[in-house]
A and B are shown apart, each in its own frame.
Chain A
Protein backbone atom coordinates (compact mmCIF):
# COMPACT_ATOMS: atom_id res chain seq x y z
CA UNK A 1 0.00 0.00 0.00
CA UNK A 2 1.15 3.53 -0.72
CA UNK A 3 2.84 5.50 2.04
CA UNK A 4 0.98 8.58 3.27
CA UNK A 5 2.47 11.71 4.81
CA UNK A 6 0.60 13.91 7.29
CA UNK A 7 1.67 16.83 9.48
CA UNK A 8 2.32 15.61 13.02
CA UNK A 9 0.00 18.09 14.66
CA UNK A 10 -2.32 20.99 14.11
CA UNK A 11 -4.53 23.26 16.15
CA UNK A 12 -7.87 24.62 15.11
CA UNK A 13 -10.50 26.86 16.65
CA UNK A 14 -13.83 25.55 17.81
CA UNK A 15 -16.58 26.32 15.31
CA UNK A 16 -14.19 26.83 12.43
CA UNK A 17 -13.48 24.41 9.59
CA UNK A 18 -10.49 22.12 10.06
CA UNK A 19 -8.59 21.17 6.91
CA UNK A 20 -6.32 18.14 7.33
CA UNK A 21 -3.87 17.50 4.49
CA UNK A 22 -2.45 14.17 3.38
CA UNK A 23 0.10 13.35 0.70
CA UNK A 24 0.02 9.98 -1.07
CA UNK A 25 2.12 10.59 -4.15
CA UNK A 26 2.73 6.89 -4.89
CA UNK A 27 -0.90 5.81 -4.64
CA UNK A 28 -1.93 3.25 -7.24
CA UNK A 29 -5.12 3.18 -9.24
CA UNK A 30 -6.92 0.61 -7.11
CA UNK A 31 -6.09 2.14 -3.74
CA UNK A 32 -8.72 3.98 -1.78
CA UNK A 33 -7.97 6.87 0.55
CA UNK A 34 -9.39 6.22 4.02
CA UNK A 35 -9.64 8.54 6.99
CA UNK A 36 -10.02 7.30 10.53
CA UNK A 37 -9.64 9.05 13.84
CA UNK A 38 -8.75 7.79 17.27
CA UNK A 39 -9.84 9.55 20.39
CA UNK A 40 -7.66 8.81 23.39
CA UNK A 41 -7.88 5.20 24.64
CA UNK A 42 -10.57 4.21 22.14
CA UNK A 43 -10.66 2.18 18.95
CA UNK A 44 -10.36 4.07 15.67
CA UNK A 45 -13.54 5.55 14.23
CA UNK A 46 -14.24 5.45 10.52
CA UNK A 47 -14.76 8.90 9.01
CA UNK A 48 -14.85 8.67 5.23
CA UNK A 49 -13.15 7.13 2.22
CA UNK A 50 -12.91 7.72 -1.50
CA UNK A 51 -11.27 6.57 -4.69
CA UNK A 52 -11.34 9.44 -7.19
CA UNK A 53 -14.33 11.63 -6.54
CA UNK A 54 -14.84 13.99 -3.66
CA UNK A 55 -17.01 12.54 -0.94
CA UNK A 56 -19.17 14.01 1.79
CA UNK A 57 -21.02 12.47 4.70
CA UNK A 58 -22.46 13.64 7.99
CA UNK A 59 -19.02 13.81 9.58
CA UNK A 60 -16.72 15.30 6.98
CA UNK A 61 -15.81 15.99 3.38
CA UNK A 62 -12.96 14.40 1.47
CA UNK A 63 -11.34 16.31 -1.34
CA UNK A 64 -9.02 14.27 -3.59
CA UNK A 65 -6.85 16.03 -6.15
CA UNK A 66 -7.31 15.10 -9.77
CA UNK A 67 -3.94 13.33 -9.90
CA UNK A 68 -4.84 11.56 -6.63
CA UNK A 69 -1.47 12.40 -5.12
CA UNK A 70 -2.97 14.25 -2.19
CA UNK A 71 -6.21 14.75 -0.34
CA UNK A 72 -7.76 16.95 2.32
CA UNK A 73 -10.18 15.98 5.03
CA UNK A 74 -12.49 18.81 6.00
CA UNK A 75 -14.32 18.93 9.31
CA UNK A 76 -16.80 21.71 8.58
CA UNK A 77 -17.41 22.96 12.13
CA UNK A 78 -14.85 21.61 14.56
CA UNK A 79 -15.95 20.95 18.13
CA UNK A 80 -13.92 20.08 21.20
CA UNK A 81 -15.00 16.45 20.74
CA UNK A 82 -13.15 16.37 17.41
CA UNK A 83 -9.83 16.47 19.28
CA UNK A 84 -8.16 13.20 18.22
CA UNK A 85 -5.41 11.62 16.14
CA UNK A 86 -6.49 11.54 12.49
CA UNK A 87 -5.11 8.86 10.19
CA UNK A 88 -4.98 9.04 6.39
CA UNK A 89 -4.47 5.58 4.88
CA UNK A 90 -4.15 4.31 1.33
CA UNK A 91 -5.42 0.77 0.95
CA UNK A 92 -6.13 -1.59 -1.92
CA UNK A 93 -8.69 -4.31 -2.31
CA UNK A 94 -7.40 -6.48 0.52
CA UNK A 95 -8.66 -3.80 2.90
CA UNK A 96 -5.58 -4.06 5.10
CA UNK A 97 -4.95 -0.75 6.81
CA UNK A 98 -1.43 0.41 7.63
CA UNK A 99 -1.55 3.11 10.27
CA UNK A 100 1.13 5.78 10.31
CA UNK A 101 1.68 8.36 13.01
CA UNK A 102 -1.31 10.45 11.91
CA UNK A 103 -2.04 14.09 12.73
CA UNK A 104 -2.84 15.04 16.31
CA UNK A 105 -5.62 17.60 16.02
CA UNK A 106 -6.36 19.79 18.99
CA UNK A 107 -9.53 21.87 18.85
CA UNK A 108 -9.33 24.90 21.12
CA UNK A 109 -12.23 26.87 22.54
Chain B
Protein backbone atom coordinates (compact mmCIF):
# COMPACT_ATOMS: atom_id res chain seq x y z
CA UNK B 1 0.00 0.00 0.00
CA UNK B 2 0.84 3.73 0.12
CA UNK B 3 1.87 4.13 -3.50
CA UNK B 4 2.44 7.54 -5.04
CA UNK B 5 2.85 8.01 -8.77
CA UNK B 6 4.09 10.92 -10.83
CA UNK B 7 3.58 11.74 -14.47
CA UNK B 8 5.52 12.29 -16.58
CA UNK B 9 8.68 10.62 -15.36
CA UNK B 10 10.78 12.91 -17.53
CA UNK B 11 10.11 15.88 -19.77
CA UNK B 12 12.16 18.04 -22.11
CA UNK B 13 10.76 21.41 -23.08
CA UNK B 14 11.79 24.65 -24.72
CA UNK B 15 12.52 27.74 -22.68
CA UNK B 16 9.41 29.84 -22.13
CA UNK B 17 6.91 26.99 -22.19
CA UNK B 18 4.91 25.66 -19.25
CA UNK B 19 5.11 22.14 -17.91
CA UNK B 20 2.57 20.34 -15.74
CA UNK B 21 3.55 17.50 -13.41
CA UNK B 22 0.92 15.27 -11.82
CA UNK B 23 1.21 13.55 -8.46
CA UNK B 24 -1.31 10.87 -7.53
CA UNK B 25 -1.84 8.80 -4.40
CA UNK B 26 -2.99 5.48 -5.82
CA UNK B 27 -4.31 3.58 -2.83
CA UNK B 28 -4.96 6.16 -0.13
CA UNK B 29 -6.43 9.60 0.29
CA UNK B 30 -3.86 12.32 0.76
CA UNK B 31 -5.04 15.37 2.62
CA UNK B 32 -1.57 16.88 2.33
CA UNK B 33 0.90 16.71 -0.51
CA UNK B 34 4.38 18.17 -0.66
CA UNK B 35 6.52 19.23 -3.61
CA UNK B 36 10.30 19.04 -3.51
CA UNK B 37 13.08 19.92 -5.92
CA UNK B 38 16.49 18.28 -6.09
CA UNK B 39 19.45 19.59 -8.06
CA UNK B 40 22.34 17.27 -9.00
CA UNK B 41 24.45 16.15 -6.04
CA UNK B 42 22.23 18.06 -3.63
CA UNK B 43 19.57 17.06 -1.16
CA UNK B 44 15.83 17.53 -1.52
CA UNK B 45 14.49 21.02 -0.93
CA UNK B 46 10.86 21.51 0.06
CA UNK B 47 9.09 23.90 -2.29
CA UNK B 48 5.52 23.93 -1.04
CA UNK B 49 2.86 22.21 1.02
CA UNK B 50 -0.47 21.54 -0.63
CA UNK B 51 -3.71 20.82 1.20
CA UNK B 52 -6.78 19.56 -0.62
CA UNK B 53 -9.18 22.35 -1.42
CA UNK B 54 -7.01 25.19 -0.20
CA UNK B 55 -4.13 27.31 -1.42
CA UNK B 56 -0.64 25.92 -1.24
CA UNK B 57 1.88 27.23 1.26
CA UNK B 58 5.22 28.04 -0.35
CA UNK B 59 8.63 27.94 1.29
CA UNK B 60 10.70 31.08 1.45
CA UNK B 61 12.31 31.89 -1.87
CA UNK B 62 9.92 29.83 -3.99
CA UNK B 63 7.90 31.95 -6.42
CA UNK B 64 4.23 31.03 -6.15
CA UNK B 65 3.41 32.60 -9.52
CA UNK B 66 6.05 30.52 -11.24
CA UNK B 67 5.29 27.21 -9.56
CA UNK B 68 1.52 26.83 -9.60
CA UNK B 69 0.14 24.11 -7.38
CA UNK B 70 -3.38 22.73 -7.51
CA UNK B 71 -4.67 20.08 -5.11
CA UNK B 72 -8.15 19.53 -6.49
CA UNK B 73 -8.88 16.14 -4.97
CA UNK B 74 -7.67 13.84 -2.23
CA UNK B 75 -5.68 11.81 -4.74
CA UNK B 76 -4.27 14.40 -7.14
CA UNK B 77 -1.97 17.39 -6.92
CA UNK B 78 -0.39 19.14 -9.88
CA UNK B 79 2.67 21.36 -10.15
CA UNK B 80 2.90 23.65 -13.16
CA UNK B 81 6.23 25.25 -13.93
CA UNK B 82 5.28 28.37 -15.86
CA UNK B 83 7.57 30.01 -18.41
CA UNK B 84 10.28 27.47 -17.70
CA UNK B 85 13.91 28.47 -18.05
CA UNK B 86 17.08 26.33 -18.09
CA UNK B 87 17.70 27.08 -14.41
CA UNK B 88 14.39 25.32 -13.62
CA UNK B 89 15.88 22.07 -14.89
CA UNK B 90 15.79 19.75 -11.90
CA UNK B 91 14.33 16.59 -10.37
CA UNK B 92 10.86 17.33 -9.01
CA UNK B 93 9.48 14.95 -6.40
CA UNK B 94 6.12 14.91 -4.67
CA UNK B 95 5.08 13.20 -1.48
CA UNK B 96 1.72 12.49 0.08
CA UNK B 97 0.59 12.09 3.64
CA UNK B 98 -2.49 10.36 4.94
CA UNK B 99 -5.01 12.00 7.19
CA UNK B 100 -4.54 9.44 9.93
CA UNK B 101 -0.85 8.67 9.93
CA UNK B 102 2.39 10.56 10.31
CA UNK B 103 4.21 9.13 7.31
CA UNK B 104 4.88 10.70 3.93
CA UNK B 105 5.25 8.53 0.87
CA UNK B 106 7.19 9.77 -2.10
CA UNK B 107 6.62 9.54 -5.81
CA UNK B 108 9.33 8.35 -8.21
CA UNK B 109 10.14 11.89 -9.33
CA UNK B 110 9.97 13.83 -12.59
CA UNK B 111 13.13 14.91 -14.33
CA UNK B 112 12.69 18.24 -16.13
CA UNK B 113 15.15 19.53 -18.71
CA UNK B 114 14.56 22.98 -20.12
CA UNK B 115 16.48 23.77 -23.28
A46 to chain B: closest CB distance in Å? 6
Given contacts A43-B93, A95-B32, A96-B34, whether A101 and B43 have CB atoms under 8 Å apart is yes
Given contacts A95-B32, A96-B34, A96-B49, contact A45 B106 (CB under 8 A): yes
Interface size class of A (residues with CB under 8 A): 20 to 34
Given B4, B43, B95, B109, which contacts A41 in the complex, CB threshold below 8 Å? Answer: B109
Contact with B along A83-101 (1 / 0, CB 8 A): 0000100000101111111
**Closest residue of B by beta carbon distance from A48:** B103
Q: Which of A32, A34, A44 contacts B44 (CB 8 A)?
A: A44
For window 22-79 of B, CB contacts with A under 8 Å fall at 32, 34, 36, 43-46, 49
Question: For residue A46, which residues in chain B have a CB less than 8 angstroms away from its CB?
Answer: 2, 103-106
Point out the residues of chain A lying under 8 angstroms from B105, CB to CB. Answer: 46
A97 & B43 in contact (Cβ 8 Å cutoff): no
- Of the candidates B2, B49, B109, the one whose C-beta lies within 8 Å of that of A43 is B109
- Contact (A100, B34) CB under 8 Å given A43-B108, A95-B104: no
Instruction: Find the A residue at minimum CB distance from B101.
Output: A95
Do the beta carbons of B106 and A32 come within 8 Å of each other? no
Interface check B87, CB cutoff 8 A: no
8 Å CB contact of B43 from A45, A95, A96, A102: A102
Contact of B109 among A42, A49, A95 (CB under 8 A): A42
Residues in A lying within 8 Å of B, measured CB to CB? 32, 34, 36, 38, 41-46, 49, 87, 93, 95-102
Interface residues of B (CB under 8 A from A): 2, 4, 6, 32, 34, 36, 43-46, 49, 91, 93, 95, 97, 102-109, 111
Q: A46-B106, A95-B97, A97-B46 are in contact. List 18 more A-B contacts (CB 8 A).
A: A34-B103, A36-B106, A42-B108, A43-B95, A43-B106, A43-B108, A43-B109, A44-B106, A46-B103, A87-B43, A95-B32, A95-B102, A95-B104, A96-B34, A96-B46, A97-B95, A100-B43, A102-B43
